[in-house]
Amino acid sequence: MIIPVILSSDKTQLTLFRSKQAYPVYMTIANIPKDICHKPSWHAQILIGYIPITSFQGITNKAARRHAQANLFHACMEKVLAPITLYSETGIAMMSTDSIWRRCHLIFTVFIGDYPEQALVTCTYNGCCPKCEVSWDQLGEYNDFPPHVHSDTTKIYHLADNNVHPFNAACREAGLKPVYHPFWLSLPFADVYQSIALDILHQLLQGIVRHLVTWLSSPTVFGSNIIDAQCRILPLNHSVAVFPKGIAMLSCVSGKEHKNMCHILLGLIISLPLSGGQVPSCVIKAVRAILDFVYLAQLPTHTTDTLCHLQESLKLFHSNKAVFIDLGT
C-alpha cells in the first residue's frame, strides 16, 4: 500500500519562547478522507517538529547568511523525515482499519506552504517560479514553460560531495540556491517540483484579487472614489457581505474578506463608464474571466471539463488584459 505523505509548514512567531521564530512542520497522509482533513478537531494533521530560525549574526555576508539559513532548514528536515527515507523503499508492516496487515510505503508527495516556504523547499530564489523554468520578466505572459526536471536538479546537488567550486557554478547556472543536500534528495520516488501545491490564499485571493482591485481603483480606470461609492450604495443582503467604507483603501485584508470582494466586484463595475466615455467591455471581460478562474481553482476536485474551463478563463483574461496597460495602470 502506498501512503502519500503531505507536509506543511509556515514561519511562525513563538510567543512562549521569548518571541522566537520557527518553522512548525505538520504531517498528514492522503489516505484520509478530505472531510476529515478539513476539520481541525479531528487532528488529521500532527505536529512532528519545530525547525529553528537563527540570524547567524557571525556571518557578515548577507548572501552567505541566507544560504546558511536554507542549509539549516534542509538539514533539520532531513533529520525529521529520516523514518520516511528508511521505509519508502523497504516498506513497513501496518494494520489498516479492516484489520488486514499490509506492507506500507511512505512516500513524500505534497508540500503545502506559502510562496517563501515553496522557494525555500525547492531551493529556488524569490521571484522565480518553484515549478517551471519561466524567468521573472515573463511571469505575466500566457505561454507554456518547461517544468523543472527533478532528476537534473538531483545531479547538480550530488556535485556538493566533490569540489565545491563546480557545485556553486552549476547552481548559479541553473538558478538554484547552493544548498548542501536538500532534504528531498534522499527521499525515494519524490519529485519536489511536482509536490508544490497551489496556494489559494496568498497566490489567488491575496495576490490576484488584490491586484485586480488595485487595477480597477486606478485613476485611469474607474478610480478609488467611484469604486468606494459603488460599495456604499449596495443594499444590505443576508448572503453577501457589504463594505460600507469601500474596498479601495483597505489594508491587512484577510482571505475571507477577499472572497467577499469577489462576490460583489463584477456588480460594482458593470454599469460604470471608463474615463473619456470609453466602453469598458474589455475590462468587464477581463474581470469576469479572472474571477471565473479563481472560483474554478478552489474546487475540491477537478475533471477534464473543469480544467478546460480553467484554461478558457485564463485565455480570455490574457486576451483582454491589455486594456489595463492601455489605460496606464
Predicted confidence (pLDDT) at residue 289 exceeds the cutoff of 70: yes
3-state DSSP assignment of residue 48: strand
Q: Angle between the 281-297 and 304-320 helix axes, to the nearest 10 degrees?
A: 150
Prediction pTM value: 0.85
Rounded Cα distance between 222 and 309, Å, is 29
- For residue 102, the model assigns a pLDDT of 93
Average pLDDT, the chain: 90
Residue pLDDT, tens place only, 140-151: 889 889 999 999
Instruction: State the CB neighbour count (10 A cutoff) for residue 307.
Output: 12
- For residue 157, the model assigns a pLDDT of 95
Predicted confidence (pLDDT) at residue 16 exceeds the cutoff of 70: no
- For residue 276, the model assigns a pLDDT of 66
Predicted confidence (pLDDT) at residue 192 exceeds the cutoff of 90: yes
Predicted confidence (pLDDT) at residue 186 exceeds the cutoff of 70: yes
- For residue 277, the model assigns a pLDDT of 66
Residue pLDDT, tens place only, 300-317: 889 999 999 999 999 999
Rounded Cα distance between 178 and 64, Å, is 10
Instruction: Name residue 29's amino acid.
Output: I
- For residue 55, the model assigns a pLDDT of 85
Length of the chain: 329
Tell me the pLDDT band of 75, cut-offs 50, 70 and 90.
very high
Averaged pLDDT, 72-89: 91
Residue pLDDT, tens place only, 160-182: 988 889 999 999 999 999 999 99
Residue pLDDT, tens place only, 248-288: 888 888 888 999 999 999 999 988 888 766 768 889 999 99
Rounded Cα distance between 321 and 156, Å, is 39
C-alpha cell at 92: 513497513
Q: Which residue has the higher pLDDT, 16 or 282?
A: 282
CB 265 within 8 A of CB 292: no
Tell me the pLDDT band of 199, cut-offs 50, 70 and 90.
confident
The long-range contacts involving 280-284, CB below 8 angstroms and separated by at least 24 positions, are: 282/320, 282/322, 282/323, 283/216, 283/221, 283/320, 283/323, 283/324
Predicted confidence (pLDDT) at residue 125 exceeds the cutoff of 80: yes
Cα torsion at 51, 54, 56, 57 (round to 10°)? -170
Residue pLDDT, tens place only, 25-43: 999 999 898 888 888 889 8
Q: What is the DSSP track for 118-161?
A: HHHHHTBPTTS-SSB---GGGTTS----PBPPHHHHHHHHHGGG
- For residue 136, the model assigns a pLDDT of 84
Residues in contact with 173: Cβ distance below 8 Å, sequence separation at least 6, in sequence order: none
- For residue 3, the model assigns a pLDDT of 93
